[in-house]
Amino acid sequence: MTADNLSSVRERIANACLKAGVNPDSVLLVAVTKEAGISQIEEALRLGLKDMGENRAQDLVTKYRYIGDKANWHFIGHLQTNKVRDVVRIASLIHSVDSLKLAKEIDAQAAKIGKIQKVLIQVNTSGENTKFGVHPDEAIGLIKEASSYGSVEVEGLMTMAPEAEDPELARPYFRRLRELRDKINSLGITCKMLHALSMGMTNDFEVAIEEGSDILRIGRAIFK
Ligand SMILES: *Cc1c(COP(=O)(O)O)cnc(C)c1O
């Protein structure tokens, strides 16, 4: 049941924050709804969750039709340029920008509706070729370019660690993302400092908090 799951997730987040010396209010929980139906999302809203994450554009559109702006929608999956128009109309934050072409299209679609679209750059910190995301070395160039667009605001970085039983195995990838953000800030690449780090899922969110995550994307632990 969502209520029990959610209270246990919240408790685990609070404990991890305590251990890491982090203020729990500074960590945003995004409930990943890709396996959840409308009634489960409504229940999550009643339980005080506000931020919902979807990884497919079509599902985002469908769920938005029912739930609307009662939720803050996050787009977290691979985004094709022909779906950008739909996603920009709905998403408060797009976590998965991984090419210049995509950033450009988001800028164009956001400009059309007078929106400044907040985005994160997805970084492939593991080098696995099955994962989406830019190579860390390419991230700086992409951020430099995207930050110059009028209707896109780059807020930070996102990554996914490779799937593993042992959450400790995710730590180097999360650390790499944080170090990359710090490097970008120290180089002064953007006029505004990047802050957001979107990292940590059901299997590894406690480790992500220890490594400085600001945004957790948790699905199975809530909607199982
Ligand atoms: C599914 C998904 C999640 C959530 O994964 P869980 O293991 O269910 O917590 C997080 N981020 C992305 C990009 C996803 O596709």
CA distance 195 to 187: 14
* C-alpha 111 to ligand 1 mean position (Å): 29
Ligand 1: which residue has its CA nearest to atom 7? 202
CA distance 48 to 27: 15
Residue 2 banded pLDDT, cuts 50, 70, 90: confident
Per DSSP, the three-state class of 190 is: coil
* C-alpha 31 to ligand 1 mean position (Å): 9
CA-derived radius of gyration, the chain? 17
174 or 130, which is more confident: 174
Q: Which atom of ligand 1 lies at the shortest distance from residue 202's CA? A: 9
Mean pLDDT of the 162-169 span: 94
Whether residue 146 contacts residue 97, with contact meaning beta carbons closer than 8 Å, is answered with yes
> Which of the listed residues 33, 217, 223, 224 should we mutate to test ligand 1's pocket, taking the one with most ligand atoms within 8 A of CB?
217
> Which of the listed residues 49, 51, 76, 207 should we mutate to test ligand 1's pocket, taking the one with most ligand atoms within 8 A of CB?
76
CA distance 196 to 60: 22
Q: Which atom of ligand 1 lies at the shortest distance from residue 221's CA? A: 9
Q: Which atom of ligand 1 lies at the shortest distance from residue 96's CA? A: 13
Of all residues in the chain, what percent carry a pLDDT higher than 70? 99
Nearest to 97 by CA among 143, 52, 54, 64: 143
* C-alpha 112 to ligand 1 mean position (Å): 30
| Tokens linked to 148 | 């110059």
* C-alpha 208 to ligand 1 mean position (Å): 14
Give first-to-last CA distance, the chain, whole Å.
7
* C-alpha 219 to ligand 1 mean position (Å): 6
Residue 130 banded pLDDT, cuts 50, 70, 90: low
Provide the 10 A C-beta neighbour count for residue 65: 10
The set of protein residues with a Cβ atom below 6 angstroms from ligand 1 is: 32, 34, 55, 76-77, 160, 201-203, 217-221
Q: What is the pLDDT of residues 4-42, one digit of tens each?
A: 999 999 999 999 999 999 999 999 999 999 999 999 999
pTM: 0.97
Residue 76 banded pLDDT, cuts 50, 70, 90: very high
